């Protein structure tokens, strides 16, 4: 039965776990197969061609595990590779950019939206493109924050150095008087508390993870492949390097215990 098949979710590292957590909370009957491409992280400084190559390899890996749908839980891969991959496979594939942009468009009151993300996501201009389509009056201000991903991967989410970087990166957006800030990288919700302390209470922080899980639930229902069984907790986690470090990190984020994470040589497979 295809309904019982797992959902494939991937990111360059631990960031996609913020999306997995939402999927587990919103559609607990679904089994997850997660791949974190920790050996090749960061994606955010790579070219479009490279990110498409990596994405194709991971999609193949997930399809070999007979997933019924794929979530690209990485803004960079969603921005650079989603459309290509979608046209190549016959299965629902969703990314995190559209769901996040939708919330931001509905949230802003003054039309000034800040987007923080990796260099590749900001350079792609994808948030401005989608947001201006939904409302031509909005002004979108993007800011690449290349140091956030290594800070998160090193577990320095609450460190003085992280506070200083949040101050530097968000300063110019605050000056533009944004009222909404999109956390346009799946690693950034892990810095949420620090970002909140720096930007204050008046700016709404948009975390695309919640909306992405909601969008996944809709897609599964529309395709009649949703699994509403009692959760069996047989999720599986794979990475391309540092399995034990990843497992420990996952256990600080997810609502269930990750017992094992396996190392996979993705290049050899692809
Ligand atoms: N978490 C990823 C994103 O949402 C990217 C981090 C990286 O590999 O640069 O863009």
Given a cut of 70, whether residue 268 has pLDDT beyond it is yes
For residue 233, the surrounding DSSP H or E stretch is none
pTM of the model: 0.95
Ligand 1 atom 7, closest CA: 42
pLDDT tens, residue by residue, 100-142: 999 999 999 999 999 999 999 999 999 999 999 988 899 999 9
pLDDT of residue 269: 66
- Ligand 1 binding residues, C-beta < 6 A: 11-12, 15, 41-44, 74-76, 118, 121, 149, 185-187
Q: Give the number of the atom of ligand 1 that is nearest the alpha carbon of residue 41.
A: 8
Q: Are 124 and 80 in contact (CB under 8 A)?
A: yes
**Residue 163 to residue 161: CA distance in whole angstroms:** 5
**How remote is the CA of residue 16 from the centroid of ligand 1, in Å?**
9
Per the annotation, the verdict on 145 as an active-site residue is: no
Q: What is the mean pLDDT of the chain?
A: 95
Do 2-95+210-269 and 97-208 have matching folds? yes
Say how many C-beta atoms besides its own lie within 10 A of residue 7's C-beta.
24
Given a cut of 80, whether residue 232 has pLDDT beyond it is no
Sign of CA dihedral 245, 186, 41, 237: positive
Say how many C-beta atoms besides its own lie within 10 A of residue 253's C-beta.
14
Bridge partners, residue 8, by sequence: 33, 70
∠ CA 96-98-99, nearest 5°, is: 70
Q: Are 209 and 234 in contact (CB under 8 A)?
A: no
Ligand 1 atom 8, closest CA: 42
Average pLDDT over residues 174-196: 96
For the chain, give the percent of residues with pLDDT over 90: 89
**Residue 182 to residue 193: CA distance in whole angstroms:** 14
Per the annotation, the verdict on 185 as an active-site residue is: yes
Q: Give the number of the atom of ligand 1 that is nearest the alpha carbon of residue 187.
A: 1
- Residue 233: pLDDT band (50, 70, 90) is confident
Given a cut of 90, whether residue 195 has pLDDT beyond it is yes
Asked: is 2-95+210-269 a CATH 3.40.190.10 domain? The reply is: no
Report domain extents, the chain: 2-95+210-269, 97-208
- Domain spanning 97-208 has what CATH number? 3.40.50.1860
């Amino acid at each position: 039965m295809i309904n019982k098949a797992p959902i494939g979710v991937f990111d360059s590292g631990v960031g996609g776990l913020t999306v997995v957590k939402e999927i587990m909370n919103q559609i607990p009957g679904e089994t997850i197969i997660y791949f974190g491409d920790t050996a090749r992280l960061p994606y955010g400084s790579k070219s479009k061609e490279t990110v498409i190559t990596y994405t194709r390899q991971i999609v193949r890996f997930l399809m070999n595990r007979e997933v019924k749908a794929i979530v690209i839980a990485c803004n960079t891969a969603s921005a650079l590779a989603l459309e290509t991959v979608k046209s190549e496979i016959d299965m629902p594939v969703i990314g995190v950019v559209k769901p996040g942009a939708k919330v931001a468009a509905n949230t802003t009151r003054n039309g000034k939206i800040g987007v923080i993300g990796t260099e590749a996501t900001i350079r792609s201009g994808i948030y401005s493109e989608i947001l201006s389509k939904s409302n031509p009056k909005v002004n979108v201000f993007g800011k690449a924050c290349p140091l956030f991903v290594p800070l998160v991967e090193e577990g320095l989410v609450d460190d003085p150095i992280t506070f200083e970087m949040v101050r530097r990166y968000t300063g110019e957006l605050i000056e533009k008087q944004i009222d909404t800030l999109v956390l346009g990288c799946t690693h950034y919700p892990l810095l949420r508390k620090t970002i909140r302390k720096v930007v204050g209470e008046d700016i709404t922080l948009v975390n695309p993870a919640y909306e992405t899980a909601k969008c996944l639930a809709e897609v599964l229902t529309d395709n009649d492949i949703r699994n509403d069984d009692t959760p069996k907790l047989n999720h599986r986690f794979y990475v391309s390097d540092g399995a034990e470090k990843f497992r420990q990190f996952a256990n600080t984020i997810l609502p269930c215990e990750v017992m094992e994470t396996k190392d996979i040589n993705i290049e050899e497979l692809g």
